[in-house]
Structure 1
Amino acid sequence: MAKPIQIDTFKEYQYLSEATLSADGRRCVYVQSQSNAEGTGYEHDLKCWDFDQKRSIPLTSGHKERNFLFEDAEHILFPADRTGEDEKAAKQGKTQTTYYRLNLNGGEARKAFTLPWKVTALKPVDGETLAALVLKDLDELPIEGLEGKALDKALAQREEEKDYEVLDELPYWFNGRGFINKKRTWAVLVKPGTDEAQILSPKYMDVRHLEISPDHTKIAIAGPEFDSVNSQTSVLYLIDRASGERTTLVPSGKWSFGHLGWLNDNQLAVTATDYQTWGSSENAKLYTIDIASGAMTLLNGEDLSWGSSVGSDAKLYGGRGWKIVNGEIWTLLTWDNHSELTVFDRQGQRRALTTAEGSVDFFDVQNGRIVMSAMRKMRLQELYELKDGVEIQLTHVNDAVLAESYVAQPEKISFTNDGVRIDGWVLKPIDFDPVKTYPAVLDIHGGPKAAYGEVFMHEMQYWASQGYFVFFCNPRGSDGRGNAFMDLRGKYGTVDYSDIMTFTDLVLKTYPMIDEHRVAVTGGSYGGFMTNWIIGHTNRFACAASQRSISNWFSKSLTTDIGYYHNMSQMDSTPWENPEKMWGFSPLKYADKAVTPTLFIHSDQDYRCWMAEGLQMFQALKLHNVDARICLFHGENHELSRSGKPIHRIRRLKEITQWFDQYTDHLSVLEPEEETENETEA
């Protein structure tokens, strides 16, 4: 008999990221992560799949190694502070990053060099030069060259300034990064072991892309450049290595680049959009850029969803989603309810290399060999080699985790609403008996430009193991179906709400063993918005759990990292142009109509959907005598459910499940009963 998935089973999951092939294609180095024993964070180690030996070889055991790069076919570099030098320097007000070199043929990692910046990415340019992306605080008091009393005074001033945040830019904070006012990512050329360094980017540019030409003579950098308000458009510069000259290929003010790479020594490829037709969620198109003239030419004008938007709470980090090989563009696309590895030839013609249900999360290709991380057949992440169209599983790091567990298989339900096809799925509870009745959970994804697919979701599988039906769908607004399907500007809570309610009706009709009086609803981010919207427009649900939600489009637009451009675009209005419209789409307006008992989950460092959103709705319900509770997590952000501290992820799931149990007259297993830290409840 299959065992139920427990609330903390995810602590056993192995999370894969950063899979990268050596130049000869004989090895694939990747990061393998898992929860630490205490549940307070995650451990990361480097592993190497050796294709000759057909096995995975551990490379590091420090539990902190990530963000590596190949120096050559047999050596990798990775940042680490194994002697405490970087920490000691930080206490002295200095910033540095130390890199170690590891021979893949064996031996211990040895210190390679130290760079005087906080490095976020490193790329080899030639045999002795590296290109780095480094963090720079433009407001930080400089201490370079200071000694003695002058240095002590400057450090004391820096310490005093930690008590204040002075803001004069938008955005001034960002989810997962904190306050970012006057903080930039610079592009720098360095020669390790020397004092030679060349800053490639202008002072106020925030570099998002750095690509080196195949002949190593030119470097392209792209990203926003601003000193007050980030318009979310990109500038593209070309740097000539010989002269150091920086020229503008594409000026700021129109285009936003999603991907960038060199097709050849004279031509770049980009995915770009001007947001003029479909707003801030518009799908990009594929262009080439001639570096002599800066002219952009459309290479593929199809309406495509770039990257993998198929969500799961059983993935932690990512890896490569775009690469140019011999003039062909390799990338990931979201297609319907799954993601595919796709290649565009030199004429822009597209061919899919994978079409299976599930998700391809990242990939690499080198010397004719293709590797990728995928979630297939409701299993957890593994590395695969794609050979002659066949996916060959390489790693088996997660096979044993769920081998004896009940994993509910999704049963697909498709229907037409307003002439539009909508896809959804149902998970049956453990030990399902068709003559019994069951409670159920409607789970709504975030985005809304995201997608559910046939991939493993821990929270859903846990609820199914606790005796709940779980059902979920991709309403209008979701990704993978083109711009027209995705476009919800000025329509939030209308067609999407209709799709979700029609889906709920169909599920209850198709599965009469679900007790319609014992159905709960939950969702996060946009799913939290929809949960808040639902409780103000129907009393059909026994209870609700609203997570990292949106309740008021005025506060959402004017306090969050993406509010001032994305959310105003999505509302198709601003607080000044049409305040009635924005208020009409705000769930808070309808809080006086709500009667559904509602739990709110929020994090105090969530700058994507700030905690004011959950607090406003919670307070409104309390004022109208509706059963309500909020659990606020200290030190967590918008990613709590996916990458928060494991003990916090357990507490979150426990809070939600207890709430469901209470109002659906159900009893779940909520072990482990762990004591958690840094949380306040109201």
Structure 2
Amino acid sequence: MKTRYLSSTLVALFFLVHLNLSAQTSPEPVTIDNYFDVQAVGNPAISPDGKWIAYTVRTPDYEKKKSETRIWMVPTDGGEALPMTAKGTSAGSPQWSPDGKYLSFTASRNDSKSQVWVLDRRGGEAQQLTFVDQGISGYKWSPDGSRLMLMIRDKKEESDDPTPFVIDRLQFKQDYAGYLDRTRTHIYTFTPGDTTETQLTFGDYDQSGATWSPDGKSIAFVSNRTEEPDGNFDSNIWIVSADKGEKEGGLIQVTTNPGGDSSPSWSPDGKQIVYTTSITPEKIWYSTSHLATISADGNGTPKLLTQAIDRNIGSPEFSDDGKTIYFEIEDSGESQLASIRPDGTGFTRLIQNDVVVNNYTRHGDMFAVTLGTFSAPGEIHTFKNGQLKQLTKVNEDYLKSVQTADFEEIRFPSKDGTEIHGFLVKPIGYEAGKKYPTLLWIHGGPVAQYDHSYSFNAQLFAANGYAVLLINPRGSSGYGQPFSEILFADWGNKDFEDVMAAVDYTIERGIADPEKLGVGGWSYGGILTNYVITKTDRFKAAMSGASETLLRSNYGHDHYQKHWEAELGLPWETPEKWERISSF
């Protein structure tokens, strides 16, 4: 009897413990507090021997009201990830020295501005490599590892007394920068062990996108060096000698397109440069960013490679043998890794199908990418011989702790028959045939797209019983320039029709409750919300964030005056255009 009683007691205890553990580990609907559990993974960098990938992990901290970014590395064959920087201070921009001995990164430590630091892989603490008073905004190792290229903004004069803002630029302010002055970002070189940096570029111009030539003798970069850079979009590709600099060696202007040219990358032999270009600058942000190549000697004619594809291109790079160009392409709710031959043939989508690829890097035929899906935040993957392999699981615990809402891609005709694409996120516990309160959540831009990346907002809404519509109306990117350009100087027209068609489509399917509709968005999402609620009274609630209503009153108060003028003209010369698209 005692044995039988003991056995039954153990069984009961085991059952109770199992129930308790199940209750503790069963996933729960997402709450607002879970926002601080989602970590952002990015910036992969493959070591020169191809055995390791360094990357960043950004973790938000509610109590400190800020995020912290650390450097980690993981074996390319798979295995345990190792932290390379400690908690308590942020680091970013991981890079490997060409010989693989050092892992470098940027950090602001010891009360200094952002500097380059290095970790010796053989052991020891990180050592500060640069000591620039005003800090650096970017860096790259030279191909032989003997020097660093630094991006440094001019030093401001410091004073203990309050000083006024001197406004003497057409572009007088910038989001996240504040009021703009005449300090500019220039290119420098620095030899480790030296006490000073060598400035290469000069003048009242900003430089960006700088990259070393394969032989380390030159640096290609992007700059708008027109008479009034604040008044146009004419950035071009330039080359400066890494030894002589601009004052002694001059500059080579590689491109002359009046639109924006950016993201230069050299061919392995140093004779060609691949870059992205906007060939219709008068269409401002509605213009597609194409892929092009050009001779690096400054005497070439651009060769457009992706004009027929008509999708935005980014981060181009030649293969080691120069026979292929790799790049990211934005297409119909995805961000894919693709390739093409330098003659414009052989366009191939390498990584596609319901994914978002960001921050790719390459070592031979192996890629490291940050890859995310609608149901999971981005993680580091390798891609080789057509196969994807996930290496990190930074957000695994978070995903196990929460219920993930189901979603489906939807396509439906707008009022004029144009096919519109987007995503329908279903509420947690969705039951077919039941109607749900539905939120139309509009993206900003307008030239942007909802894609297959993880949306915490949508998951939060779904956890609270809402169906969520994430729609890419006309004006969005990812569907070609005509789809986007139709919104030029005609806001709140076709895009309004498109988002309302999405609502009608969801009602017709019996999912959305027509008596319980909400709408909202941020930036242009807020602007389109304003059009929606002034054109229809079908919505019971609305949220319009960082938006505009009476557009003329906003001119001169934000950083978009260049775009405003290109799209609508000056408000005192063409007031009718401004009034026509105001939702007020």
Where on the TM-score scale, by shorter chain, does this alignment land: which range? 0.7 to 0.9
- 1:159-182 per-position Cα deviation (integer Å, ceiling 9, x unaligned): 3344x2111113211112222221
Tell me how far apart the structure 2 counterparts of residues 384 and 81 of structure 1 sit (CA, whole Å). Answer: 29
- 1:444-476 per-position Cα deviation (integer Å, ceiling 9, x unaligned): 111111111233211111111111111121111
Q: 1:78 aligns with which of 73, 80, 105?
A: 105
Contact preservation (8 Å) 1:204, 1:226? no
Going from structure 1 to structure 2, the CA distance change for 1:168 and 1:283 (only over 3 Å counts) comes to same
Q: Does 1:257 align with 2:261?
A: yes
Q: Does 1:270 align with 2:275?
A: yes
Q: Could you say what secondary structure the match of 2:397 adopts?
A: coil
Q: 2:325 aligns with which of 300, 306, 329?
A: 329
* Counterpart residue number, 1:425: 423
Contact preservation (8 Å) 2:447, 2:475? yes
Deviation at 1:252, TM superposition (A): 6.6
* Counterpart residue number, 1:221: 221
* Counterpart residue number, 2:116: 99
Going from structure 1 to structure 2, the CA distance change for 1:251 and 1:354 (only over 3 Å counts) comes to closer
Give the partner amino acid of 2:452. E
Going from structure 1 to structure 2, the CA distance change for 1:116 and 1:323 (only over 3 Å counts) comes to farther
Give the partner amino acid of 2:104. L
Provide the aligned C-alpha RMSD in A: 2.3
Superposed counterparts of 1:614-625, under 5 Å: none
Aligned length: 545
* Counterpart residue number, 1:662: none
Q: 1:387 aligns with which of 384, 387, 396?
A: 384
Superposed counterparts of 1:101-500, under 5 Å: 101-125=118-142, 126-137=144-155, 140-141=156-157, 155=158, 158-162=159-163, 164-225=164-225, 229-230=229-230, 231-244=232-245, 245-250=249-254, 254-263=258-267, 264-276=269-281, 278-300=283-305, 301-307=307-313, 321-326=315-320, 327=322, 328-349=324-345, 350-376=347-373, 378-417=375-414, 418-434=416-432, 436-487=434-485, 488-500=487-499
Tell me how far apart the structure 1 counterparts of residues 109 and 453 of structure 2 sit (CA, whole Å). Answer: 38
Tell me how far apart the structure 2 counterparts of residues 426 and 269 of structure 1 sit (CA, whole Å). Answer: 38
Deviation at 1:242, TM superposition (A): 4.8
- Quote the sequence identity (%): 24
Going from structure 1 to structure 2, the CA distance change for 1:439 and 1:281 (only over 3 Å counts) comes to same
Give the partner amino acid of 2:150. A
Q: Does 1:67 align with 2:93?
A: yes
Tell me how far apart the structure 2 counterparts of residues 53 and 106 of structure 1 sit (CA, whole Å). Answer: 22
323-332 or 440-449: bigger deviation: 323-332
Tell me how far apart the structure 1 counterparts of residues 450 and 71 of structure 2 sit (CA, whole Å). Answer: 30
Q: Could you say what secondary structure the match of 1:485 adopts?
A: helix
Contact preservation (8 Å) 2:237, 2:264? no
Tell me how far apart the structure 2 counterparts of residues 266 and 494 of structure 1 sit (CA, whole Å). Answer: 47
Give the partner amino acid of 1:114. F
Tell me how far apart the structure 2 counterparts of residues 334 and 250 of structure 1 sit (CA, whole Å). Answer: 26
Tell me how far apart the structure 2 counterparts of residues 222 and 254 of structure 1 sit (CA, whole Å). Answer: 13
Contact preservation (8 Å) 1:235, 1:248? no
Tell me how far apart the structure 2 counterparts of residues 97 and 284 of structure 1 sit (CA, whole Å). Answer: 31
Contact preservation (8 Å) 1:449, 1:477? yes
123-132 or 27-36: bigger deviation: 123-132
Deviation at 1:578, TM superposition (A): 2.0
Tell me how far apart the structure 1 counterparts of residues 274 and 434 of structure 2 sit (CA, whole Å). Answer: 57
Deviation at 1:358, TM superposition (A): 2.7
TM-score by length of 2: 0.88
Deviation at 1:490, TM superposition (A): 2.0
Going from structure 1 to structure 2, the CA distance change for 1:67 and 1:409 (only over 3 Å counts) comes to same
Contact preservation (8 Å) 2:374, 2:455? no
Give the partner amino acid of 1:378. S
Going from structure 1 to structure 2, the CA distance change for 1:270 and 1:53 (only over 3 Å counts) comes to closer
Give the partner amino acid of 1:492. W
* Counterpart residue number, 2:581: 585
Deviation at 1:412, TM superposition (A): 2.6
Superposed counterparts of 1:624-639, under 5 Å: none
Give the partner amino acid of 2:53. C
Unaligned stretches of 5+ in structure 2?
1-25
Tell me how far apart the structure 2 counterparts of residues 97 and 469 of structure 1 sit (CA, whole Å). Answer: 44
62-71 or 96-105: bigger deviation: 96-105
- 1:516-551 per-position Cα deviation (integer Å, ceiling 9, x unaligned): 121110011111100111111111100100011122
Tell me how far apart the structure 1 counterparts of residues 343 and 149 of structure 2 sit (CA, whole Å). Answer: 31
Tell me how far apart the structure 2 counterparts of residues 135 and 226 of structure 1 sit (CA, whole Å). Answer: 20
Going from structure 1 to structure 2, the CA distance change for 1:196 and 1:4 (only over 3 Å counts) comes to closer
Q: Could you say what secondary structure the match of 1:522 adopts?
A: strand
Contact preservation (8 Å) 1:31, 1:44? yes
Contact preservation (8 Å) 1:449, 1:478? yes
Give the partner amino acid of 1:509. E
Deviation at 1:345, TM superposition (A): 2.0
Deviation at 1:276, TM superposition (A): 4.4
Contact preservation (8 Å) 1:50, 1:57? no
Unaligned stretches of 5+ in structure 1?
87-95, 142-154, 309-320, 589-682
Tell me how far apart the structure 1 counterparts of residues 166 and 549 of structure 2 sit (CA, whole Å). Answer: 28
TM-score by length of 1: 0.76
55-64 or 532-541: bigger deviation: 55-64
Give the partner amino acid of 1:340. Q
Going from structure 1 to structure 2, the CA distance change for 1:535 and 1:357 (only over 3 Å counts) comes to same
Tell me how far apart the structure 1 counterparts of residues 238 and 408 of structure 2 sit (CA, whole Å). Answer: 50
* Counterpart residue number, 1:610: none
Give the partner amino acid of 2:396. D
* Counterpart residue number, 1:29: 54
- 1:206-257 per-position Cα deviation (integer Å, ceiling 9, x unaligned): 0012121111122222212367551221143322345441223247781311
Contact preservation (8 Å) 2:548, 2:554? yes
Going from structure 1 to structure 2, the CA distance change for 1:483 and 1:113 (only over 3 Å counts) comes to closer
Higher relative contact order (CA 8 A, sep 6+): 1
Tell me how far apart the structure 1 counterparts of residues 435 and 238 of structure 2 sit (CA, whole Å). Answer: 63
Tell me how far apart the structure 2 counterparts of residues 186 and 281 of structure 1 sit (CA, whole Å). Answer: 29
Tell me how far apart the structure 2 counterparts of residues 507 and 37 of structure 1 sit (CA, whole Å). Answer: 36
Deviation at 1:377, TM superposition (A): 5.0
- 1:584-618 per-position Cα deviation (integer Å, ceiling 9, x unaligned): 10112xxxxxxxxxxxxxxxxxxxxxxxxxxxxxx
Tell me how far apart the structure 2 counterparts of residues 341 and 79 of structure 1 sit (CA, whole Å). Answer: 27
Tell me how far apart the structure 2 counterparts of residues 577 and 250 of structure 1 sit (CA, whole Å). Answer: 37
Deviation at 1:83, TM superposition (A): 3.4
- 1:29-70 per-position Cα deviation (integer Å, ceiling 9, x unaligned): 001111125150111111001235632111111431112322
Give the partner amino acid of 1:565. K
Contact preservation (8 Å) 1:273, 1:285? yes
